[in-house]
């Protein structure tokens, strides 16, 4: 098991920056998505990112956006004992949401509170309900009475119109547009620049391809592409 450097024993006490009390937070995943989330967290000014965890040994002791990669997920228990109570998911998705979901569930199993990261230039209506662990990026718009589940990514410039219902562990990719009253089931991926007509129901474990235009309901466990979107295959079970 990889051991934590002694310097991170300071995590027993909340970090202090100026007059603002900062809570230590650990990230799970050290790839490109982690860079984006680190930036969002820094802009929020509430949490101090003290390290990242990743199973790739070649990343250990390197840094991502100035944050050290401490070791693998095996360090979660030790970090929790040292007083780190918050985590974020730094793993993005390109269709398969299950690896990200497993990290989210792992953090929860170890007693961490998975925090949300919201860019200050996202537009979120006051009536929107957002579950824990959401990542909402710059330029995203979420309109009135939409509901967002746990561990959801609303990527740069994505639009979720009023009264949409987004399940947990969903990724709404960059520039995707969901018209009003769209429902998206758990573990689904809405691809880059995709458009979903109003009142459409997208099932669970669905992949909507980049640029697709969805004008009919989509059942569970399929991949749809094209204009209009059509089913091309089933999604393999995780």
pLDDT tens, position by position, 171-214: 999 999 999 999 999 999 999 999 999 999 999 999 999 999 99
CB 53 within 8 A of CB 75: yes
Q: Give the whole-number percent of the chain exceeding pLDDT 70.
A: 91
pLDDT band (50, 70, 90) for residue 2: low
Please give the radius of gyration of the chain, using alpha carbons only, rounded to the nearest integer.
18
Among 110, 162, 171, 189, the one annotated catalytic: 162
Q: Architecture of 6-114 per CATH?
A: 3-Layer(aba) Sandwich (3.40)
Domain residue extents for the chain: 6-114, 117-234
162 is catalytic: yes
CATH number of 117-234: 2.160.10.10
Residue 70 vs residues 16, 42, 49, 93: alpha-carbon distances, Å? 21, 19, 12, 22
Interval 91-116: pLDDT, tens = 987 777 888 999 999 999 999 999 99
């Amino acid at each position: 098991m990889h051991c934590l450097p002694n310097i991170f024993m300071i995590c027993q006490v909340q970090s202090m920056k100026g007059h603002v009390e900062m809570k230590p937070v650990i990230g799970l995943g050290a790839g490109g998505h982690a860079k984006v989330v680190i930036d969002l967290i820094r802009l929020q000014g509430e949490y101090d990112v003290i390290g990242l965890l990743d199973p790739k040994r070649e990343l250990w002791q390197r840094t991502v956006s100035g944050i050290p990669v401490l070791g693998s997920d095996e360090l979660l228990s030790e970090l929790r004992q040292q007083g780190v109570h918050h985590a974020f998911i730094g793993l993005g998705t390109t269709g398969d949401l299950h690896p990200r979901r497993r990290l989210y569930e792992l953090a929860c199993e170890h007693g961490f509170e998975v925090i949300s990261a919201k860019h200050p230039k996202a537009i979120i209506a006051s009536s929107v309900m957002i579950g824990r662990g959401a990542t909402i990026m710059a330029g995203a718009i979420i309109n009135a009475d939409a509901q967002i589940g746990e561990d959801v990514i609303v990527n740069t410039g994505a639009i979720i119109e009023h009264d949409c219902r987004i399940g947990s562990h969903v990724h709404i990719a960059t520039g995707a547009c969901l018209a009003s009253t769209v429902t998206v089931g758990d573990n689904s991926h809405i691809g880059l620049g995709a458009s979903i007509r109003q009142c459409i129901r997208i099932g669970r474990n669905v992949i909507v391809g980049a640029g697709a235009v969805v004008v009919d309901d989509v059942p569970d466990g399929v991949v749809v592409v094209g204009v209009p979107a059509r089913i091309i295959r089933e999604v393999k079970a995780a």
